[in-house]
Structure 1
Amino acid sequence: MPEENWTEENPEDAEADARADAIFREAGIPAPQPTNRSFLVAVILPVIVTGVLLIAGLWMFAGPLGLYN
């Protein structure tokens, strides 16, 4: 069985992308601007903030539930 090249772009996909780009150009929809946000700000920081909020929330409700003295 021959190996498939998973990184090769399918010509049908390229054709569909070109048609979609043409439709966007005709409708006057601009191409999306690339973001300048780093991986730290986009992924790591929200994960840390969410973790801190979860820990604080659990700690706040642990007393009334009798989980610590």
Structure 2
Amino acid sequence: MINAPSPTPEENWTEEDPIDAEIDARVAQVNQNAGLPPERPTRFGPMVTVALPMVIAGILLVMGMWIFVYPLFFG
């Protein structure tokens, strides 16, 4: 990223864009008019949705290597 702008201390990087806030409010209004329940926050964080599948895949990979490759060299 050669031409990336450097962050400035006076700029609030966590502030929501007014356009996004307006779109979110409009979507909530349309969903309410359609009789849909309001959106609930998800129960699972990134640790469960990203890290857990990677750990499971890693365990399965090690088990597969142990079962199929280990006997070829040390069996």
Q: Given the two structures, how large is their TM-score scaled by the length of structure 1?
A: 0.63
1:24 — aligned with what?
A: 31
1:6 Cα offset (Å): 1.0
Distance in 2 (CA, whole Å) between partners of 1:12 and 1:36 is: 27
Aligned residue-pair number: 65
Gaps of 5+ in 1: none
**Aligned in 2, Cα 1:9/1:37: closer, same or farther, shift over 3 Å?**
closer
Matched ranges for 1:28-67 at <5 A: 28-37=35-44, 42=48, 44-62=51-69, 63=71, 66-67=72-73
RMSD of aligned residue pairs (Cα, Å) = 2.8
Identity %: 42
Indicate yes or no: 2:14 matched with 1:7.
Answer: yes
Consecutive unaligned residues in structure 2, runs of 5 or more: 1-6
Higher relative contact order (CA 8 A, sep 6+): 2
Which secondary structure state, in structure 2, belongs to the residue aligned with residue 52 of structure 1? helix
